[in-house]
Amino acid sequence: MSTAALYSTDVKISAYPQVDQTKYPDIYNDLQNVHSAIRVMQQYLDAYTGARFIGRAGVDIQTGQFVYGTTGTDLMTLGLADNTNHTKPCIGFCTGGQASGNGIEIQTFGIWPYGSGDLLPGTVYYLSTVGTITPVVPVGAGKLLQEIGIAIDTDNLLFRPTSKYTEL
């Protein structure tokens, strides 16, 4: 690697700090602490902005499936989002599958990484049936038209479900 590639500025500040922990143990420990603090702050930021929450699965829900929510006794009860009518709009996706009755983590925006090579980059995806998505705009009386996100590549979707959906 050339010397120019190692530094981010002409004052030779490393773009990728690598500190000899035996020669500079205090600096190395400080960098590790900063790294850990950033990770903790990101977790708090995610929690504050509502990126993820815990609900109760009202049905068996698989990892990556899209869900809607209804009120429950102690936690929001979650079911599979569906475009067959306006009563089950998508609010998030499951980050780890659970059987009915169990607590389940839901992500409300961000990257949906479950495309398995099937997504078309740059394509807008819409809510389909039983917790799935489709690149085809839904048609038919009573159907729910809800944009879910846009494919970044064949595996990842920028998940940002619109709260302004239309019943056809």
How confident is residue 27, by pLDDT bands cut at 50, 70 and 90?
Answer: confident
Do 68 and 121 lie in a common domain?
A: yes
Do 76 and 25 lie in a common domain?
A: no
Do 72 and 126 lie in a common domain?
A: yes
**Tally of structural domains, the chain:** 2
Q: Structure pTM?
A: 0.69
Domain containing 136: what range?
A: 52-167
Do 72 and 15 lie in a common domain?
A: no
| DSSP letter, residue 67 | E
Do 41 and 93 lie in a common domain?
A: no
Query: How far is it, in rounded angstroms, from Cα 35 to Cα 22?
Result: 19
| DSSP letter, residue 22 | T
Do 86 and 105 lie in a common domain?
A: yes
Digit-coded pLDDT (tens) for 73-104: 677 899 999 999 899 999 999 999 999 999 99
- Residue closest to 168 by CA, chosen among 146, 150, 151: 146
Do 78 and 42 lie in a common domain?
A: no
